[in-house]
Structure formats: C-alpha cells, structure tokens
C-alpha cells in the first residue's frame, strides 16, 4: 500500500466571501482564524461569546496538489478521510464524491480515474453544525444538557463541543484527523481481528483476515509476532476463495501484561500482512499485551459483584474519568497527551473511563494506555440526552460508526469494557423525560437499542470484551440505575446536593464510576483568562469560566463548612484545591476499606478541555491540583486510612499487592504543639488484595470538649527503618482547630538535577502547599499535613539552568494557617 498524506498548503474561506486564507490540516476553522489573528483567543476572558459566529457559518477548505507517482501508478487509489467534522461535501477535480455527517467515522472513495499527475484540487465544504441542529431541534425537540446549544443529539458529533457543565460552546469545524491517498494493487486488507487464547499457561495469537480482492491469483496471509526481547514467531496461510483467512501462532514463554501497580506491561509487536507471491500488498501493525480480562458479576451476600479480573486476579479499579483534552482536538500534541496519561499512572491509577460525551480517542491515546497499564472503560458516544434512535437513517449511521470503532479498538490490551452511554438510563428514570408523552416512542427505542441492538453489534464484532448498557446502571432497564446491589453508580449528592463529605460513607456501590467535587485551577492558570481586577468568585469573568450552575457558590459554601474565611483570593484558590482533595480522599478511602464489596472508584474528572473551574485533578495546562497529589496517596498500592468517629479512630491498611505486606503501625495522640498524650506501636500484616483492620483506638479518656480543638491523631506506617506513609485525624473541623503559625523550616540542597527540600514545623502545619515561584514543577508530595517532631524530605526537578540559590529564593510554603492569618 502506497500512501500520500494530504497536508501542506491548504486554504479556507467563509462561504459567501472571496478571500482564501492559509489553513492547517488536520485543523479547524477556529484554530486557523486564531492563528491568523482574525478572532480573539476563545479561552481568554469572555471571548467565547464573541466567536459564536464561527460555528454558525459555513466554511470551505481547498487543497491543490500533485499526485505522487508511486501512488498514481497503483491499480486503485482511494481518498481516505479519517475524520471530517462533521457536515461535509467532498469534491475532487470538480467531481462530487459524497457527503459526511459523522465525525466518528472514516470515509473513503475510490478516485483513481479522477486523479491527474500535476494539478488536482480537493474541496471540502463544511455546513454549520449549529444551524443544522437548530433546525432539527425545531422540527423535533429533544431533551439535552442545559449548558449546551440545544439539539446536539441530532448530529453525530462530540456532544460536549456544544457546551457542558465544564466546557465552552465552541463546536469545531474542519478536517480533524488525517486525510490521505492510498494506492493499492489487486487486494487489500479490509479487516483484521486479532485474538489471544490462553490455556494452561500457554498463549496462542490468531489473526482473522477479511480481504477485498480484484484478482483470482493466489494470496497469502502472514502473521508475525515480535516479543519484547526481539524474538520472532511467524505463521502464514492461504487466503480462501471467500477472501478470508485465519492464522494461528503459539507464543513461546509468554510474558503477561498487567494493569499499573499489579505487574509489568510487556508489549508484543504484531504484523499482519497480505502477499501475492513475493509482493506485499498490504500490512497492518499492532501492539499487543498478552492477558486475560473479564468482568466478573457473581452473586454474593450484597447482590452481584462488578469486578474486573486480569489474568485471574481481581483488580480494584483506581482511576478517573477522561474528557477530550482540548476543545479543539487537533491542538492535542503527542507530548501533552502523554503527560496526561503519565500523570494518571504516576498517581497509581489503573483505569480511565473514556466518557461518552466526547469522542472515541485516536490510536495514540490507546497506545499510551497499553504502555502505562491503564485499563479503558470505553463509553459509546451518547450522553445525557434523548437521541432519535427510532430514525432508520440515524441508526444506520450509528451502526457504521460502531462497527468501525469496535473493529479499530477491539485488539487493545487496555480495553476492559464497552459501555452503551453516559447517564441516559438515569435520565429516563429521574430527569423527567418519562413524563413527556411525546417521548414514549423514544423510550422504547432506547431500551431496544442499548439492551438489544448495540450489545448484539458489539458481540458480533468483539465477543471477547464485556458490554454494559449505561453508566450508571443496575442492568435492569429503567430500574434503580444507581442501586447498591449490582452494576455501577454515580454519586453526586455531595456536590450537587450539598451534602457533607461524610455522606460518602453511606454509599456502598459495587463500582463507583463517577463522583466529584470542584476546585479552582491554580492561580497561574487563572492568570491566563482573568485579569487581577476580576479575581473574585462572583465576578463576571470568573463566572464565565464556571460552567456549572451555581458552581462557585457551592464551592464557597462547602469551603466555609470546612475552613475559615480566606484572607485573599490567592488563599481562596488554595483552599478550593485543598477542599477538593480532602473530599475525594474521604470517599476513596472509605470505598477502598470495603474493597470486598466495592470493586473500583473513578473520580470525576482527570483533565480539562480549557482553563476553567471544574472537577479535574489536572488542569488544562497539566498543572497538578491538590487532588492529583492526594490521588498519589489514596491510590497507593499500600494505603493507610483512618475511619474517624471521634473519639474512636479506626486504622486500616488496604493492599493491592499480590502478597502479604508486613510492617509496623506507629500511632500517637498529640496536641498540635507536639505534646504526646498517648502512643503505641502495632505489627501489621496486611492481607493481599484486601483491606485489613489493624485496630480501633478509643481515646475518650483523653479527649474533652475543652481540648478537642487542640488534638491530632497520627498514624504512621513503617517497614523496618523506611517510613511508608502518614495519616492524621482530628476531633474538630479544621476551621475550629487552634492552629498557630507553624514556623516551617526548609533546608534545601540539590544533586543530579534534583532539588531536595527538608521540612520541619514547630506546630502542626495543615495541608502544606509547596511551589516554586514562576515555574511549574511536580513535587514528590504536596498538600500534606506536617506534625511536630517529624522531618520530611520533598523532592522535585531543579528547573533547567537554575542554581540552588534561585530555587531557595523562589520556594513558597503555606498551610491552612496562612490562609486566614495576617
């Protein structure tokens, strides 16, 4: 197969105008206009509203090119568009090829007879998606998301691009994936289905090929598997007269792939090729990890489990929800994408849920998840809306979309689950849709599609991966989607319902696939969209960058339940992040203490698509919020937690290790100034893949109404002379603690490009935040409690070109005390 990528000197214009402007492909109208200075940056201030006209207009892209000789000389040549967003009419050299209406599909046309050697013109005319959905919504109103441009469910385009409760209304238009010419000979690979078969410690890899052929000559299918150490296995077979073939290949000494934290991630290279004699006609290359993966749903004392099993080992899913990494997807660089996935892995996450309001990610995303050991819960692209699932044309469009993407992703080592949609079953039960009589037919269509049609399509194309109808769901149509007995749950009563963090302890779902709490992004990020005059939670600009109704009020309300009134805006930003971290920690620790019943937690959300106040732990620029540092602790393979019920403090160790963990627990009850009132030490044998209750300490003889605001319970886990982790618990809300200036002392040194910061406090420092002024770095720990009498060392990279003296001058340290004290 010979390929000519069609990138270069593209031009575009608004339909109805004469001026052709330079364009980037892959790209889009917004980013092209922004690069030319024709629109303001939509992410700054309130510019989002000033660029709405862009998506309301029609646009035209044009590319003039010469066809490469090695492509043109092939027997057949196809124009292949991996992604057109969304309503496009494609013309080559004046000949109309076809129209598109689905950004998730690949489109291809045979164009050999239309191509010329020197002068070719490809024109792609894009119609406004906003005008399209607006007209459709007038004809047939469909319920959707209140923060979005109405009618998005009429069009197969990423729902969140029309707006969401964390994202702007900036629907892109353009060629958003690769576009190319493919030249081939007498046959091509139409489909390859890779499977792996495990039995008695042995693995066989099979490749089932479907071939598109225009010759009666003999064809051969070849399968080559290259092990991580370079060892190769090769097998081949003849292609049958029905244009199919299956090649099986045993793998000697198979190296098993494991999720992050459970083992290594060895990846094999798999090459599937099609031959006519000695000539290779087509080839596909894959990476493959050898593993078994199933969703176990067995009856138990609480109902029915919902637990992922990898290589026969029960995995506690530790992770978060993934949204598109940019409102304009073509700006997502390889480095940026890897930074986000690596950030998940560095906090011990082993699962991401690719949320159904975005899009099927590109292959590079799944490559990274395979490499970093991140399992993927893959939603289909339906979210929080009613869709016209009784429209035959709409269904046929979706059928092709599903077929293409399931076949593209089914071999992925990281793929753990196909899920029908996000929150639509919940919507039918609790959001009032069922009371609209004009939607009765669509409710029937929903049931038919997500409980029958879609799972049948999935099973036909990918019989090896489990299917789940909706998230959340109890797997019984329209019945208690957030039930605690089976399936997965979303719990939003803490954020939307304004309940305290302690409400998390009332929940025992079989799998918690969504829950969250908002925070502002770091001040450095706020500076990119708001001037200092706007640094107020109720200012116009701050509310433009808060897409959840009353979100800033909810954040401040919970903040004042926990902390004292912050003295300035910078302190408010710090407390918002600390509050988010504390809330999510509280929930995760509870559910990990009950891992025999709860099999996973995916907090909402990992990342952002623009700079905004949101539920993310990594902001739009990849900066770590307090929650991301907390995740490194509460998702640690060996987690220490305290079930506080003052004056009782229950201490637990939860282990994801596959062998018993042994160490010691050192505990103490102290004043905030470090006076020890009681202390002890316990041996710890933490059972594998389980939560172990170490001890519950009843401290009522030491705790009184007079001193409870001055006490802290400290639990420390040690293994020999190695300190593993520390947890603290208090007997009064943080805002009522008798905090005094902690007088933190910092001593710095550096070696081999690493800055070492040794810290000690004279009084307990609550939620210590470290930063280096003017530069972004990731610390080994941050937003932690620092009791008296402990010296801890925190590390971070020494910024390139910096001397130690610069780092010492730039080091900033604050704690909760500093957020209110003048």
Residue 432 backbone zone (phi > 0: left; psi -120 to 50: alpha; other: beta)? left
Reported as a pLDDT band with limits 50, 70 and 90, residue 508 is very high
Res 1 pLDDT > 90: no
pLDDT for res 448: 98
CA distance 288 to 266: 9
Res 476 pLDDT > 90: no
**Number of residues that make up the chain:** 822
pLDDT for res 477: 87
Reported as a pLDDT band with limits 50, 70 and 90, residue 688 is very high
In terms of Cα–Cα distance, which of 388, 405, 595 is closest to 508? Answer: 595
Mean pLDDT of 449-471: 98
Contact 720, 749 (CB under 8 A): no
pLDDT for res 140: 97
- pLDDT tens digit sequence for 416-429: 999 999 999 999 99
- pLDDT tens digit sequence for 215-266: 999 999 999 999 999 999 999 999 999 999 999 999 989 999 999 999 999 9
Mean pLDDT of 708-717: 98
Residue 34 backbone zone (phi > 0: left; psi -120 to 50: alpha; other: beta)? alpha
Using DSSP bridges, classify how beta strands 745-751 and 754-760 pair: parallel, antiparallel or unpaired: antiparallel
pLDDT for res 209: 97
CA distance 434 to 443: 8
pLDDT for res 259: 99
CA distance 347 to 319: 9
734 membership: H or E segment, kind and range: none
CA distance 262 to 419: 24
Token representation of residue 232:
């190769």
pLDDT for res 251: 94
Token representation of residue 454:
């879609």
Reported as a pLDDT band with limits 50, 70 and 90, residue 181 is very high
- pLDDT tens digit sequence for 582-629: 999 999 999 999 999 999 999 999 999 999 999 999 999 999 999 999
Q: Which domains occur in the chain, in start order? A: 2-183 (2.60.120.260), 186-288 (2.60.40.10), 297-634 (3.20.20.80), 637-738 (2.60.40.10), 740-822 (2.60.40.10)
Residue 206, exposed/middle/buried by CB under 10 A (0-12, 13-18, 19+)? middle
pLDDT for res 542: 98
Res 766 pLDDT > 90: yes
Reported as a pLDDT band with limits 50, 70 and 90, residue 188 is very high
Reported as a pLDDT band with limits 50, 70 and 90, residue 555 is very high
Mean pLDDT of 530-540: 98
Res 132 pLDDT > 90: yes
CA distance 242 to 402: 25
Q: How many helices (H) and strands (E) does the chain have?
A: 18, 45
Residues of the chain with pLDDT > 90, as a percent, come to 98
Mean pLDDT of 515-524: 99
pLDDT for res 397: 99
CA angle 542–544–546, rounded 5-degree value = 75
pLDDT for res 8: 85
CA distance 700 to 696: 12
Annotated active-site positions, please? 423
For 625-741, list the strands marked E by DSSP.
638-645, 648-655, 661-671, 676-686, 690-698, 711-719, 722-730
Res 125 pLDDT > 90: yes
CA distance 549 to 655: 39
Question: What are the phi and psi torsion angles at 194 (to 5°)?
Answer: -85, 135
Reported as a pLDDT band with limits 50, 70 and 90, residue 366 is very high
CA distance 149 to 70: 46
Indicate the DSSP class of residue 569: H
CA distance 151 to 144: 7
Mean pLDDT of 625-653: 97
Residues of the chain with pLDDT > 70, as a percent, come to 100
For 43-186, list the strands marked E by DSSP.
59-65, 76-81, 84-85, 87-92, 95-101, 107-110, 120-126, 174-175, 179-184
CA distance 220 to 320: 44
């Amino acid at each position: 197969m010979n390929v000519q990528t069609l990138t270069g000197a593209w031009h575009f214009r608004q339909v109805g105008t004469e001026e052709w402007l330079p364009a980037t492909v892959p790209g889009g109208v917004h980013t092209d206009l922004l690069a030319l200075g024709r629109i303001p940056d939509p992410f700054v201030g309130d510019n989002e509203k000033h660029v709405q006209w862009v998506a309301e207009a029609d646009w035209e892209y044009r590319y003039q090119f010469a066809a490469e000789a090695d492509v043109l000389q092939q027997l057949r040549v196809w124009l292949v568009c991996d992604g057109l967003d969304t309503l496009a009419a494609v013309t080559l050299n004046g000949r109309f090829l076809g129209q598109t209406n689905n950004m998730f599909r690949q489109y291809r046309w045979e164009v050999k007879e239309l191509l010329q050697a020197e002068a070719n013109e490809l024109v792609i005319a894009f119609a406004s998606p906003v005008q399209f959905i607006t007209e459709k919504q007038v004809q047939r109103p469909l319920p959707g998301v209140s923060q979005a441009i109405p009618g998005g469910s009429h069009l197969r385009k990423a729902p969140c691009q029309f707006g969401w409760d964390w994202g702007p209304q900036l629907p892109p238009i353009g060629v958003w994936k690769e576009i190319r010419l493919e030249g081939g000979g007498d046959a091509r690979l139409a489909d390859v289905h890779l499977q792996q078969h495990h039995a008695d410690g042995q693995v066989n890899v099979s490749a089932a090929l479907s071939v598109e052929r225009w010759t009666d000559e003999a064809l051969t299918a070849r399968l080559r598997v290259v092990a991580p150490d370079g060892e190769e296995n090769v097998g081949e077979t003849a292609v049958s007269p029905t244009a199919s073939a299956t090649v099986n290949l045993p793998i000697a000494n198979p190296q098993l792939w494991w999720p992050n934290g459970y083992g290594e991630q060895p990846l094999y290279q798999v090459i599937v090729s099609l031959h006519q004699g000695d000539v290779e006609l087509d080839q596909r290359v894959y990476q493959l990890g050898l593993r078994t993966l199933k969703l176990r749903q067995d009856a138990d004392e609480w109902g029915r489990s919902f637990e992922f099993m990898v290589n026969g080992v029960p995995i506690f899913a530790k992770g978060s929800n993934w949204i598109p990494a940019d409102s304009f997807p073509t700006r997502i660089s390889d480095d940026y994408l890897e930074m986000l996935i690596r950030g998940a892995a560095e906090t011990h996450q082993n699962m991401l849920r690719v949320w159904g309001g975005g899009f099927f990610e590109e292959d590079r995303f799944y490559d990274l998840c395979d490499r970093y050991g991140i399992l993927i819960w893959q939603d289909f692209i339906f979210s929080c809306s009613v869709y016209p699932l009784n429209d035959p044309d709409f269904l046929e469009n979706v059928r092709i979309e599903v077929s293409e993407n399931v076949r593209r992703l089914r071999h992925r080592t990281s793929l753990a689950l196909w899920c029908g949609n996000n929150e639509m079953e919940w919507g039918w039960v609790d959001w009032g849709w069922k009371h609209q009589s004009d939607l009765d037919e669509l409710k029937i269509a929903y049931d038919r599609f997500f409980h029958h049609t879609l799972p049948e399509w999935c099973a036909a194309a990918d019989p090896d991966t489990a299917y789940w109808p909706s998230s959340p769901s109890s797997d019984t149509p329209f019945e208690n989607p957030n039930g605690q007995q089976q399936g997965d749950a979303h719990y939003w009563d803490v954020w939307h319902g304004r309940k305290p963090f302690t409400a998390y302890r009332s929940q025992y779902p079989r799998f918690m696939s969504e829950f969250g709490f908002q925070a502002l992004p770091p001040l450095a990020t706020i500076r990119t969209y708001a001037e200092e005059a706007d640094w107020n939670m109720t200012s116009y600009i701050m509310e433009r960058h808060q897409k959840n109704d009353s979100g800033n009020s909810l954040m401040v309300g919970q903040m004042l339940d926990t902390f004292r009134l912050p003295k300035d805006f910078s302190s408010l930003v710090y407390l918002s992040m600390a509050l988010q971290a504390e809330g999510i920690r509280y929930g995760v620790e509870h559910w990990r203490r009950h891992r025999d019943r709860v099999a996973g937690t995916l907090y909402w959300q990992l990342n952002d698509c623009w700079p905004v106040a949101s539920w993310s732990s990594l902001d739009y620029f990849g900066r770590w919020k307090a929650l991301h540092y907390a995740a490194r602790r509460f998702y640690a393979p060996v987690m220490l937690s305290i079930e506080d019920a003052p004056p009782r403090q229950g201490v637990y160790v939860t282990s994801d290790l596959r062998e018993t963990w042994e160490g010691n627990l050192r505990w103490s009850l102290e004043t905030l100034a470090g006076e020890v009132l009681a202390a002890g030490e316990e041996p710890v044998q933490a059972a594998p893949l389980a939560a172990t209750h170490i001890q519950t300490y009843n401290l009522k003889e030491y705790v009184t109404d007079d001193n409870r605001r001055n006490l802290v319970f400290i639990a420390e886990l040690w293994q020999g002379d190695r300190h593993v982790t520390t947890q603290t618990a208090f007997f009064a809300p943080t805002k009522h603690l008798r905090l005094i200036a902690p007088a933190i002392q910092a001593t710095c040194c550096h070696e081999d490009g690493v800055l070492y910061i040794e810290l000690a406090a004279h009084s307990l420092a609550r939620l210590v935040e470290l930063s280096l002024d003017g530069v972004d770095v990731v610390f080994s720990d941050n937003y932690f409690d620092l009791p008296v009498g402990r010296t801890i060392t925190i590390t971070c990279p020494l910024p390139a070109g910096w001397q130690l003296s610069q780092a010492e001058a730039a080091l900033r340290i604050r704690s909760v005390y500093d957020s209110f004290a003048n």
